[in-house]
């Protein structure tokens, strides 16, 4: 029976539209409603503020072009796991898959689920640990949906993503029409941030808001004509989100101005109140909930694909490498991923802020492997491996820019522990993520043969 299970392969059920919407769903999340205030506080005016968001899109596009070539070379379900396996070998690939299962993807799902919990609690609040309860509900429901089948989950993704994009566009246009931002004085502009260090701090949050485009690489084995269409999915997805982010931030500036965004604790809520009054807070909460649910659904969908590839290659995890033909899903991988994510939600519920705890837990590990994946392209080119698919333009400038950005983000995520506001609260989470990652090293040597 196991032989028949392992013979079942992923089906190419996803179109370019499906892939673009899944990619957009991974990028557009809670941080477009949270990050602008911090970015405004570290930039020296509206021009620099918008430039930060444009630069974030350009860095992400560089990464997308790198990933497009990697996916064209190896269009297989498993994404970065496959790239690292071919470029760095079994040991690094094992460590990545282990880290993604226990830290990167499960931690990211838990973090975003806490944001959903915060906004869902504005609509219906439970007596205690309301955010954690809502987070657990979202994870259970969307894991069950993905377990039911690929076609079910991609249909929901389309519906939620279209609703989200339409909502953000309507919100932005209404804000631009309303306007009313106070004029910025020369003294205020001079007092604002804008030094190199401050701008670098702003880019941390901008790039976090753009995070998730890389998840499209995990769809390569299920996309129709993957070698050609993965390039379209990555580039269209990143460019579309960049345009939407610029539109939303222009809307924030139109109503609040740069100084108002900087002073706001909930920038989207303040803009919504200016447009439609205090009662509009519930409407905004619904919009944010839809946004976050699209992110969680896409993360669950793609996360299980790595664990599936992981199980195919290492015998002691072969249960994860079984594809369920009914619904065309990696069922066992989905169940284990859901269980670990719920465990992290429970642990984070005991901290002062579940979202920040999970960001601290995942960031150093995430940027470590992002950096290694970017370097993989140089390895493939050095080996002069032939490919008939897409090639990254302006090589080596584009991949070098991406690698340098990854290195800076890795430094910043580890330097998190020295932050006077967050380090004392979440330094343990940073350390915990690194310890769990490194625990994969002895596990690899105990894993046995393929």
**pLDDT 10s digits, 271-289:** 888 887 777 777 777 878 8
- Average pLDDT value over all residues in the chain: 81
* Concatenated DSSP letters of 222-261: GBTTHHHHHHHHHHHHHHHHHHHHHHHHHHHHHHHHHHHH
- Between 188 and 124, the higher pLDDT residue: 124
Q: Which token pair is 283? A: 């409407």
Predicted confidence band at 344 (pLDDT cuts at 50, 70, 90)? very high
Contact 373, 83 (CB under 8 A): yes
CA 15 to chain centre: 21
Quickly state the pLDDT bin for 139 (edges 50, 70, 90). Answer: very high
For the ranges 223-227, 361-365, 402-406, the one whose mean pLDDT is highest: 402-406
**2-445: what fold?**
Amino acid/polyamine transporter I (1.20.1740)
Higher pLDDT, residue 7 or 304: 304
88-92, 273-277, 279-283, 326-330 — most confident range = 88-92
Region 335-352: mean pLDDT is 91
Q: What is the pLDDT of residue 251?
A: 94
Quick one: tokens of 103? Answer: 């830290």
From the DSSP assignment, how many helices (H) and strands (E) are in the chain?
19, 0
Q: Is the pTM of this model over 0.95?
A: no
Mean pLDDT, to the nearest integer, of 14-34?
A: 78
In whole angstroms, give the CA distance from residue 357 to residue 421. Answer: 13
Q: Which residue in the block uniquely carries the two structure tokens 């003294």?
A: 187
- In the predicted model, is pLDDT for residue 52 greater than 80? yes
Domain range annotation of the chain: 2-445
289, 281 contact by CB (below 8 A): no
Coil, strand or helix at 324: strand
For 256-286, b/e burial (b = at least 16 CB within 10 A) is bbbbbbbebeebbbbbbbbbeeeebbeebbb
DSSP-derived secondary structure letter, 211 = T
């Amino acid at each position: 029976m196991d032989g028949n299970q392992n013979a079942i392969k992923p089906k190419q059920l996803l179109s370019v539209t499906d892939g673009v919407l899944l990619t957009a769903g991974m990028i557009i999340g809670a941080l477009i409603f949270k990050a602008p205030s911090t970015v405004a506080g570290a930039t020296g005016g509206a021009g620099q503020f918008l430039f930060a968001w444009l630069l974030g899109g350009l860095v992400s596009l560089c990464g997308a072009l790198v990933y497009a070539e990697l996916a064209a070379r190896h269009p297989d379900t498993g994404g970065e796991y496959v790239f690292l396996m071919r470029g760095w070998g079994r040991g690094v690939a094992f460590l990545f898959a282990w880290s993604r299962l226990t830290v990167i993807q499960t931690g990211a799902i838990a973090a975003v689920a806490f944001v959903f919990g915060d906004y869902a609690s504005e609509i219906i609040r439970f007596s205690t640990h309301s955010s954690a309860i809502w987070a657990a509900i979202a994870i259970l429901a969307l894991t069950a949906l993905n377990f039911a089948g690929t076609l079910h989950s991609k249909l929901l993704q389309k519906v939620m993503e279209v609703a989200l994009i339409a909502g953000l566009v309507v919100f932005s246009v209404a804000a631009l029409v309303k306007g009313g931002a106070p004029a910025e004085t020369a003294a205020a502009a001079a007092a604002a941030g804008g030094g190199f260090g401050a701008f670098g701090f702003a880019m941390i949050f901008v790039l976090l808001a753009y995070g998730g485009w890389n998840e499209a690489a995990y769809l390569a084995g299920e996309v129709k004509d993957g070698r050609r269409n993965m390039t379209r999915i990555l580039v269209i997805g990143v460019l579309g989100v960049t345009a939407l982010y610029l539109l939303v931030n222009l809307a924030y500036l139109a109503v609040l101005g740069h100084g108002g965004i900087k002073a706001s604790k909930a920038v989207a809520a303040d803009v919504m109140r200016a447009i439609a009054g205090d009662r509009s807070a519930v409407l905004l909460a619904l919009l944010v909930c839809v946004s976050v649910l699209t992110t969680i659904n896409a993360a669950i969908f793609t996360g299980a694909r790595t664990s599936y590839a992981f199980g195919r290659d290492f015998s002691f995890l072969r249960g994860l490498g079984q594809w369920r033909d009914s619904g065309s899903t990696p069922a066992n991988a989905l169940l284990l991923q859901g269980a670990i994510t719920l465990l992290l939600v429970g642990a984070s519920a005991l901290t002062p802020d579940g979202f920040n705890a999970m960001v601290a837990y995942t960031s150093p590990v995430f940027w470590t492997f992002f950096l290694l994946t970017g370097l993989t392209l140089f390895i493939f080119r050095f080996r002069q491996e032939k490919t008939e698919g897409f090639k990254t333009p302006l090589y080596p400038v584009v991949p070098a820019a991406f690698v340098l950005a990854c290195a800076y983000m890795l430094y910043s995520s580890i330097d998190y522990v020295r932050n006077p506001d967050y380090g004392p609260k979440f330094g343990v989470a940073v350390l915990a993520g690194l310890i769990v990652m490194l625990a994969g090293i002895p596990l690899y040597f105990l894993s046995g043969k393929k």
